[in-house]
Structure 1
Amino acid sequence: MPAYGPSLMDQPSEWFLAGKPDVMRALKTAPYDPKKNFWAPDKKEIFVKVEAKSEKGDDVTCVADGGATVVVKKSKLLPQNPSKFACAEDMVNMTFLHEAAVLGNLRERYENTLIYTYSGLFCVVINPFKLLPIYTPNVVDTYRGKRRTEVPPHLFCVVDNAYQNMVSERQCQSCLITGESGAGKTENTKKVIAYLAMVAGTPGGGQEKK
């Protein structure tokens, strides 16, 4: 077992690509009131979800998810997205696209072991610090030749789109992998190379049949 975390290789890969169906259903159908549900700044968590209870001038008394009562300036509250956008696969589709919404969505997906999230043309990756069954040959087949809208977010989809464009347009393609130290750049680069080897490789170790 690796030192950086437990292995989840014996779990269904679908859980780590699109989420567990029952959990996703519960998140996307949770009660939502645009007049009461907000994000509030927090010293420890940066932003927390709160429910507005009462107003007095510019002060709004709210109850945070953890049950604590907080008083927040009305101007500091940011609207939450409707529940249907919970664990959004592409954040550009969210109704409200502010810092709290972005951080909240990434955290919610990470808590459900969904490490890949699209943000327009970009694919955001968060290091899970554990082994996940999302790089198997079956997963490769799932993403081979698929559009982004047809499958859950994954590095393989980004790479496959670049590969398909290279083949069809006969032009060089580039994939930029960037991040801070320890973010997982090297590991994701390995995954890119492995995917291309599996998709573009020819039988016989690269030797074409005569």
Structure 2
Amino acid sequence: MDSEEMKYLVVNRKEIVPSVQSDWASKKLIWVPHDVLSFCAAGIIGEEGDYLTVLLEESGKKVKVARDECQKMNPPKYNKVEDMSELVCLNDASVLFNIKDRYFSDLIYLM
């Protein structure tokens, strides 16, 4: 395949910025259930027994969610990965995010 066709299949991993990785680690990001978006990225700001206090990335609201309802988020270096079996955290939220991320980046074709 030529480079024109490959742009719809493969992500250029050289474009990943290292500072994004450190931001992800410092915010302790996870996926929490959301009524409209199915799952929403959130940063953990507190823990009380079986509940987490999180700050939703999309709205900036603080909410309490049950620890069991949360799903782990993959590090940014796995964003738009071609083969989802490579994901460190293979869960519903991560798969859905990866598909949406690839689609909105015109990388809709998975190998």
| TM-score, normalised via structure 2 length | 0.78
Q: 1:44 aligns with which of 36, 41, 47?
A: 36
Post-superposition Cα deviations, 1:122-147, rounded to whole Å, max 9, x if no partner, equal xxxxxxxxxxxxxxxxxxxxxxxxxx
* Deviation, structure 1 residue 104: 0.9
Unaligned runs of 5+ in 1: 1-11, 119-210
The match for 1:93 is 86
Distance 1:116 1:105 in 2: 12
* Structure 2 residue 20 is matched with structure 1 residue 17: no
Question: Which structure is larger by alpha-carbon Rg, 1 or 2?
Answer: 1
Residues 178-197 of structure 1 mapped to structure 2, 5 A cutoff: none
Distance 2:13 2:76 in 1: 15
SS state of the match for residue 41, structure 2? Answer: strand
* Deviation, structure 1 residue 56: 2.0
Q: Evaluate the alpha carbon distance shift between residue 26 and residue 117 of structure 1 in structure 2; reply closer, same or farther with a 3 A threshold.
A: farther
Residues 72-151 of structure 1 mapped to structure 2, 5 A cutoff: 72-118=65-111
Number of equivalent positions: 106
2:52 maps to a residue whose letter is V
Q: 1:54 aligns with which of 43, 46, 51?
A: 46
| TM-score, normalised via structure 1 length | 0.44
Distance 1:100 1:113 in 2: 20
Question: 1:28–1:86: 8 Å Cα contact kept in structure 2?
Answer: no
Unaligned runs of 5+ in 2: none
Question: 2:32–2:71: 8 Å Cα contact kept in structure 1?
Answer: yes
Aligned Cα RMSD in Å?
2.7
Higher alpha-carbon deviation: 109-118 or 13-22:
13-22
Of Structure 1 and Structure 2, the greater strand share is in: 2
> Deviation above 6 Å: which 4+ runs of structure 1?
none
The match for 1:166 is none
Question: 2:31–2:73: 8 Å Cα contact kept in structure 1?
Answer: yes
Distance 1:93 1:64 in 2: 26
